Chain A
């Protein structure tokens, strides 16, 4: 049985090339379960197996491709010919000519033994546990574990760490921990914040925040809950919301900063339940930040406006917008657009390349109109203001496509243009800054993803005449250019609720009328 792991291993296969010179050594090779695999000097047996995509056959708790090797759990033992004992495949360096068996009876017996020890104190919590369904302990027990327990003694219970909030994002249930220390190594080596430690030793070894009062404080806490092989660490935002087997998983990218981390959108019946990072060596590695992880709330916001809004004719500046139909909206907008001489299109830098291009083309057909882009989040105006916020992923530019919009030759906004225009149309996907820093008496049309509160605060400064509901990144196809000029294309992962339309449909609708 191949266990599906909730993280992806990588390692490109090594091509077995004949030595260039007679003195050079040939590519080293290892035999794993009868398959000869060329590997790179320095690989461990596990990594060599990963190159041949055979690593899923080797169960592991402490090994994670994104973390330093620890070799503490002994679950990954394999039989190596001519070695007297079983070896841990995650920490044993592969050697040329090694013959490895990952499924021999001796190996399986050892894994059963490891499982029995782990389960001795493990609670029978699967029905309550959020990890159930994607739990490595569960999967491995199904494959290797003893089906009965010989443990008659009282189980170890941490009374005060059964449901302990390590921070407002993560909850610890120490009873379920298998002491793999992936989490501790993550805070040591990846975030370098050292905010998790194991205190005490042996039977009493307990995970705890380094500073109990402060709790966890790194910006990547969600990752802890992804790779914790059991349900010891759970993410509060997802905790108890859904059982994982109900989730549809589709790949997308995160639109919360210019990094563009690769993610998987987990949804059920078009309701997004959580986002998880997907391995991409050239973008985010294995991780994503917490801000991005909870960003699906923008799309799922109950206050999000999902039907066209229009202000009745002659109403005062801060009169309420009322819900209308697309037909009526198109009709009214046509009148407004036709009667305007200087239309200014503002494209939020969270719009996709395609959308920006469509708006640009549309503008070129309207005499006197111009297109600019606007970012504004964190004080970022153009991609030159962008920079890293930490050594890992987080970027200063909190929109996903500044570089893509720039590449289309669109210029950044100039406040004078705003005051000049007699109609301003602002398209954004829920992330670019609200246009409250501008002053203008012209009518404004808001377009894209807005929620009620945002519209209200914009209305206090500007004369908003209508709202055209649009789509979030995960609700449409599109391309985004990330911080290192890498263009990533995503497809629709969830269907939008409500009456939101794509940019293309809106332009077509206005054009035809």
Chain B
């Protein structure tokens, strides 16, 4: 291999720059300014989370839930529309026959989800599932605190999805 010609693109320091001192003083001035703003003038840029929380939009899309009726039966009929539409392919449903004793109010629902899993680690929180659902069953709550200790816990099963979500229009 022959010699490779290289070009030095870094610029030459001027005399003032090569002293470094000026830049250090400039930096210290900024630190000092922020110190005064925070400690003396009490001007804050952060909040005291978790005691304090930001107010997000009503339309914020957070952790999923499945709405339930008065009998705590899920409204979902396992139509697979959310699974079909989900761009992240993170919904996995297994459908089954709904037994008669689960048809309270005499409304015959034939089908139910036997299992309903959402892999929140894959979900991109686009809200398409919510959009597609003909039963208004799957919804995204406003909860953004979704940290878990194990990866497995980020796969929401039916029991987790059917939890009670309080708040404005059921959006928590």
Known: A127-B134, A127-B135, A163-B97. A243 touches B80 (CB 8 A): yes
CA of A128 to CA of B110 in the docked complex: distance in angstroms? 7
Is residue A53 contacting chain B, with contact meaning CB distance below 8 A?
no
Q: Which 8 A-B pairs have the closest CB atoms?
A: A127-B79, A240-B95, A243-B80, A162-B108, A127-B134, A128-B111, A128-B77, A128-B110
Give the residue among A125, A127, A157, A246 with the most B Cβ atoms within 10 A: A127
Contact with A along B126-153 (1 / 0, CB 8 A): 0000000011000000000000000000
List residues of chain A with CB within 8 A of the CB of B111.
Answer: 128, 240
Which chain B residue has the least Cβ–Cβ distance from A162? B108
List residues of chain B with CB within 8 A of the CB of A240.
Answer: 78, 95-97, 111
B95 touches A127 (CB 8 A): no
List residues of chain A with CB within 8 A of the CB of B108.
Answer: 157, 159, 162-163
List residues of chain A with CB within 8 A of the CB of B79.
Answer: 127-128, 243
List residues of chain B with CB within 8 A of the CB of A163.
Answer: 97, 108, 110
Q: How large is the interface on B (under 10, 10 to 19, 20 to 34, 35 or more residues)?
A: 10 to 19
Apart from A127-B135, A162-B110, A239-B97, what are 5 other A-B pairs with CB-CB below 8 Å?
A128-B79, A128-B111, A162-B108, A163-B110, A241-B95
Is residue A245 contacting chain B, with contact meaning CB distance below 8 A?
yes
List residues of chain B with CB within 8 A of the CB of A225.
Answer: none
Chain B residues engaging chain A, CB cutoff 8 angstroms? 77-81, 84, 95-97, 108-111, 134-135
CA of A283 to CA of B161 in the docked complex: distance in angstroms? 51
CA of A125 to CA of B135 in the docked complex: distance in angstroms? 11
CA of A266 to CA of B110 in the docked complex: distance in angstroms? 24
Q: How far is the CB of B96 from chain A (nearest CB, A)?
A: 6
CA of A162 to CA of B98 in the docked complex: distance in angstroms? 12
Number of residue pairs A-B, CB distance < 8 angstroms: 33
CA of A255 to CA of B79 in the docked complex: distance in angstroms? 33
Q: How many residues of A contact B (CB 8 A)?
A: 14
Known: A163-B97, A240-B96, A241-B95. A128 touches B81 (CB 8 A): no
List residues of chain B with CB within 8 A of the CB of A239.
Answer: 97
Is residue A173 contacting chain B, with contact meaning CB distance below 8 A?
yes
Which chain A residue has the least Cβ–Cβ distance from B79? A127
Which chain A residue has the least Cβ–Cβ distance from B132? A127
B97 touches A127 (CB 8 A): no
List residues of chain B with CB within 8 A of the CB of A128.
Answer: 77-79, 109-111
State which residues 132-165 of A face B: CB under 8 Å: 157, 159, 162-163
> What are 10 A-B contacts defined by CB distance under 8 Å?
A127-B79, A128-B111, A162-B108, A163-B108, A239-B97, A240-B111, A241-B95, A243-B84, A246-B80, A246-B84
Known: A173-B110, A240-B97. A245 touches B78 (CB 8 A): no
